[in-house]
Structure 1
Amino acid sequence: MKKDIKIPKVTDVYIAVVNEYNDIYKTQDWNAYIINDKDVDLEMILIVTSGYNEDKITSTFRKKLEKLPAKSYAKIELMQENLFALNNTFKVSFFEGNIMYDKTFLFRKNTINLNALQPIPLMDVKGVLMK
């Protein structure tokens, strides 16, 4: 029975954590984004995030987006720097057409930092990208 279930592979959808200037508070903030680099829209996007290590588990954060147009991105959440000492997971589920996709993105502890910045697709910024 399990062999009959086909789980499609997620491609061209990414999570990025970006260090950017906040004009309102005059601070450098870390924000998580979901990026749709596909040529089609994504629908009913569900994102569940949490952080953990051997001793701690954060509360679970949930976000729903009705639609993420092709070649676009959306902010998920502001991330505080003390979370980077934890493993941070982003579980993403969405529909592309009538097919449901699911993928877990994992930022291992201490991998989100200024030394790991790289260009982020579709965004004119640098950040830490998880494919």
Structure 2
Amino acid sequence: MKKDIDIPEVKNVHVAVVQEKHLEYKTIDWNAYIINNSDTDLETVLIVSQGKSETKITPPMRHTIAKLPARSYAKIEFLQEKVLELNNTFKVTFFEGNKMFDKTYVFRKNTINEKALQTLPLMQLRGVLVK
């Protein structure tokens, strides 16, 4: 039975954390984004994020994006500084056509930092990327 289930590989969909200036509060914030670097739209994108360590755990945060167009990105959430000390997991499920895709993206503790910034696909910003 299990062998009959087709789980397609997720390609060209990434999660990134970007350091941005918040104009209203005049702070520098870390924000998580989902990037659709494919040629097809993603539908019913469900994201569950959570931070964990050996001694701490954050409550799961749930997000829904009805449609993420091809070659676009969307903000998922703001990340507090204390959460960067944890392993941050983003479980992403979406439909592409009639197929369901699922992938878990993990930012290991303390890997979200200024030294790890790189150029991100589609975005005119630098951030930390998990493919």
TM bucket normalised to smaller: over 0.9
Q: Indicate the residue corresponding to 1:7 in structure 2.
A: 7
Amino acid at match of 1:70: A
Q: Indicate the residue corresponding to 1:106 in structure 2.
A: 106
Under a length normalisation based on structure 1, what TM-score does the superposition of the two structures give?
Answer: 0.99
Identity %: 63
Under a length normalisation based on structure 2, what TM-score does the superposition of the two structures give?
Answer: 0.99
CA distance in 2, matches of 1:54, 1:26: 33
CA distance in 1, matches of 2:53, 2:105: 16
**Could you say what secondary structure the match of 2:112 adopts?**
coil
CA distance in 1, matches of 2:62, 2:2: 29
How far off its partner does 1:107 sit? 0.4
Give the 5 Å matches for 1:72-111: 72-111=72-111
How far off its partner does 1:6 sit? 1.2
How far off its partner does 1:68 sit? 0.2
Query: Structure 1: 5+ residue runs without aligned partners?
Result: none
Query: Structure 2: 5+ residue runs without aligned partners?
Result: none
Q: Deviations over 1:58-103 (max 9, x none)?
A: 0110000100000000000000111111000000000000000000
**Residue-pair matches, total:** 131
Cα RMSD, aligned residues only: 0.5
Q: Which segments of structure 1 move beyond 6 Å, counting only runs of 4 or more?
A: none
**Could you say what secondary structure the match of 2:102 adopts?**
strand
**Could you say what secondary structure the match of 1:9 adopts?**
coil
Amino acid at match of 2:105: F
